[in-house]
C-alpha cells in the first residue's frame, strides 16, 4: 500500500489503550506535561481528527461510462495522542453550492456560525470503544464490499448479479459502513463491519456520495446527551431561500425541508467539494472551509473516475489551513492496491 499509515486498523476489535505517557497527571513538579494529556479518555478536538480523504468518484467500470460505488471517507488522527471516534457524526450539506450549466442557482440566508446539514450518520460508541492512535485512520465505506468480486444483490425476483470490477477497491476491511435497509433498493450489510448509526438519511433508498463531487462533508463531535431526535426538535433551520434562473425568481420556506443547524463549536473538520465550472458558493462557510476540493475542473468529466481528493502532505503533516482548495489534491485513492 502506498500509504504510510496503518489504514485498516480495525478499532472495533480492540480494547481502548491508554498510552503510558498519558497517565502522568500534570503537576507543578511536572510542568512539561501538556494539560490536554491528562484529559483521558480523549474525545477529539477541532483539527485533531480530520477528513484526510474522500473517494466520491468511484472506479470506472472497464468498457462502461459509469463507475462502481466503491466510495469511502478516511478520517485521520493528526494529534499526538490517542483520540476516540465514538460519537463522531458524519454530516452532508443541505445548501447546494453549484450552479447548473444554464446558470440556475439557489440563494440561502447567511449562516454565521454553523453547518446546515441533512444527512447525518454517527460512529456509535460509549466514549472509549474506538481508539484512534496518532497517525492512524478510520475508514467509513459507503458499502464495505470487495468491489473486485461479483456479487448478488436483492432478493426473489429482484435478485441480480453485479459483475466485479477488476479496477475497483476492496472495501471489505473498512472500519464502518453506511447500511441503509429499505424497501426499494438493496443495500448489502457486511456482518464483519460495524454499521454507522443513521441519524438522518435524505435518500429513499441508499446513501451514496455524489459521484461528481458537488457535495460537502464534515465531521462533528456530538456532546453527551444529544440525540438525533433532540437535534431535529431543537435545531431546525428556518427562513427563506430562493431559486434564480434568468428573470425567474422563486422563493421557498426552509422550514419545509429536512435541515438542521449544527453549532460551530461541535465541528471537528469540514470539507467543501465542487468542480470549477459548476462552483457557485461553498455550502460550509469560510469559518470552516474557505475553499473546496475537486477532482476535475469540468463537472461530469469522465476523467474524475478513479480519483479521490486527498490532503496534501506538507513538512510531513497533513495540510489543514481550513482552505480545501489549497489543502487537497486529486490523486489515486490511498486504498488502491
Ligand atoms: Ca451502504
Ligand atoms: Ca455491517
Ligand atoms: Ca480543517
CATH number for the domain that contains residue 312: 2.60.40.1260
* Cα of 154 from ligand 1 centre, angstroms: 13
- Ligand 2 centroid to 126 CA: how many Å? 19
The answer to whether residue 105 is domain-embedded is: no
Nearest to 178 by CA among 204, 208, 137: 208
- Pick the ligand that lies closest to the CA of residue 195: 2
For residue 175, report the distance from its CA to the centre of ligand 1, in Å.
13
User: What is the whole-number distance in angstroms between the Cα of residue 239 and the centre of ligand 1?
Assistant: 33
- The pLDDT assigned to 13 comes to 41
Distance CA 186, CA 146 (A): 16
Cβ distance 176 to 123 under 8 Å? Answer: yes
Give me the pLDDT at residue 40, please.
59
Centre of ligand 1 to C-alpha 206, Å, is 6
- Give domain status of residue 143, yes or no: yes
Task: Report the distance separating Cα 272 and Cα 283, nearest Å.
Answer: 7
Q: What is the pLDDT of residue 154?
A: 83
CA 304 to ligand 2 center in whole angstroms: 28
**Distances from the Cα of 207 to the Cα of 5, 108, 142, angstroms:** 28, 24, 7
Cα of 176 vs centre of ligand 2, distance in Å, is 7
Residue 19 falls inside a structural domain: yes
Residue 159 within a domain = yes
- How many structural domains are present in the chain? 1
> What sign does the CA torsion over 75, 329, 57, 332 have?
negative
Q: How far apart are the first and last CA of the chain?
A: 6
For residue 51, is it within any domain?
Answer: yes
What is the chain's alpha carbon radius of gyration, rounded to the nearest angstrom? Answer: 20
Within-domain flag for 38 = yes
> How close is the Cα of 282 to the center of ligand 3, in Å?
14
Q: What is the pLDDT of residue 155?
A: 82
Instruction: Say how far apart CA 53 and CA 284 lie, in whole Å.
Output: 17
The ligand placed nearest to the CA atom of residue 142 is: 1
The pLDDT value recorded for residue 23 is: 44
Q: What is the rounded distance in angstroms from the CA atom of residue 60 to the CA atom of residue 45?
A: 37
CA 117 to ligand 2 center in whole angstroms: 24
Per-residue pLDDT 10s for the chain (337 aa) are 333 443 444 444 444 444 444 444 444 444 454 544 454 579 999 999 999 999 999 999 999 999 999 999 999 999 999 999 999 999 999 999 999 989 999 999 999 899 999 999 999 999 999 999 999 999 999 999 999 999 998 888 888 999 999 999 999 999 999 999 998 888 999 999 999 999 999 999 999 999 999 999 999 999 999 999 999 999 999 999 999 999 999 999 999 999 999 999 999 999 999 999 999 999 999 999 999 999 999 988 889 999 999 999 999 999 999 999 999 999 999 999 8
Distance from the CA of 187 to the center of ligand 1, in angstroms? 5
Residue 21 falls inside a structural domain: yes
Strand 137-141 relative to strand 151-153, pairing: unpaired
How far, in Å, from the CA of 65 to the mean position of ligand 3? 34
Nearest ligand (C-alpha, residue 188): 1
Quote the pLDDT of residue 158.
Answer: 83
161 class by beta-carbon count within 10 Å (0-12 exposed, 13-18 middle, 19+ buried): exposed
Q: Is residue 88 helix, strand or coil?
A: strand
Does 231 reside within a domain?
A: no
Q: Which residues of 271-310 are buried (b: 16+ CB within 10 A; e: fewer)?
A: bbbbbeebbbbbbbbeebbbbbbbbbeebeeeebbbbbbb
- The most distant pair of C-alpha atoms in the chain lies apart, rounded to whole Å, by 72
Residues near ligand 3 ion, CB 5 Å cutoff = 269, 320, 322
- Ligand 2 geometric centre to CA of 139 (Å): 13
Ligand 2 centroid, distance to 168 Cα (angstroms):
20
Question: pTM for the full model?
Answer: 0.88
Judge whether 26 and 140 are in contact, CB under 8 Å: no
For residue 59, the CA-to-ligand 1 centroid distance in Å is 16
Domain that holds residue 185: 11-95+114-223+261-331
Amino acid at each position: 500500500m502506498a500509504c504510510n499509515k496503518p489504514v485498516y486498523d480495525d478499532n472495533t476489535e480492540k480494547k481502548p489503550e491508554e498510552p503510558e505517557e498519558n497517565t502522568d497527571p500534570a503537576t507543578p513538579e511536572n510542568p512539561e506535561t501538556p494539560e490536554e494529556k491528562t484529559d483521558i479518555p480523549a474525545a477529539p478536538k477541532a483539527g485533531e481528527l480530520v477528513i484526510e480523504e474522500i473517494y466520491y468518484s468511484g472506479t470506472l467500470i472497464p468498457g462502461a461510462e459509469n463507475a462502481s460505488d466503491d466510495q469511502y471517507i478516511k478520517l485521520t488522527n493528526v494529534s499526538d495522542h490517542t483520540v476516540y471516534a465514538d460519537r463522531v457524526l458524519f454530516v452532508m450539506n443541505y445548501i447546494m453550492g453549484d450552479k447548473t450549466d444554464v446558470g440556475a442557482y439557489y440563494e440561502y440566508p447567511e449562516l454565521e456560525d454553523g453547518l446546515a446539514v441533512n444527512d447525518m450518520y454517527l460512529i456509535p460508541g460509549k466514549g472509549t470503544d474506538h481508539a484512534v492512535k496518532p497517525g492512524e485512520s478510520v475508514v467509513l465505506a459507503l458499502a464495505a464490499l470487495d468491489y473486485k468480486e461479483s456479487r448478488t444483490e436483492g432478493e426473489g425476483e429482484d435478485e441480480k448479479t453485479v459483475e466485479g470490477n477488476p479496477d475497483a477497491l476492496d472495501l471489505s476491511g473498512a472500519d464502518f459502513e453506511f447500511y441503509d435497509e429499505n424497501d426499494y433498493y438493496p443495500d448489502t450489510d457486511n456482518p464483519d463491519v460495524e454499521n454507522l448509526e443513521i441519524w438522518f438519511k435524505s435518500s429513499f433508498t441508499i446513501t451514496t456520495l455524489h459521484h461528481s463531487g458537488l457535495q460537502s462533508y464534515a465531521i462533528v463531535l456530538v456532546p453527551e446527551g444529544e440525540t438525533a431526535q433532540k437535534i431535529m426538535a431543537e435545531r431546525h433551520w428556518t427562513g427563506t431561500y430562493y431559486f434564480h434562473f434568468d428573470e425567474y425568481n422563486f422563493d421557498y420556506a426552509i422550514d419545509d425541508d429536512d435541515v438542521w443547524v449544527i453549532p460551530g463549536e461541535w465541528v471537528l473538520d469540514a470539507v467543501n467539494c465542487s468542480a470549477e465550472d459548476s462552483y457557485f458558493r461553498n455550502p460550509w462557510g469560510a469559518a470552516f472551509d474557505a475553499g473546496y476540493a475537486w477532482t476535475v475542473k469540468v463537472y461530469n468529466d469522465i476523467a474524475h473516475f478513479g480519483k479521490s481528493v486527498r490532503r496534501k502532505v506538507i513538512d510531513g503533516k497533513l495540510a489543514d489551513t481550513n482552505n480545501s482548495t489549497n489543502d487537497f489534491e486529486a490523486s489515486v485513492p490511498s486504498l488502491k492496491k
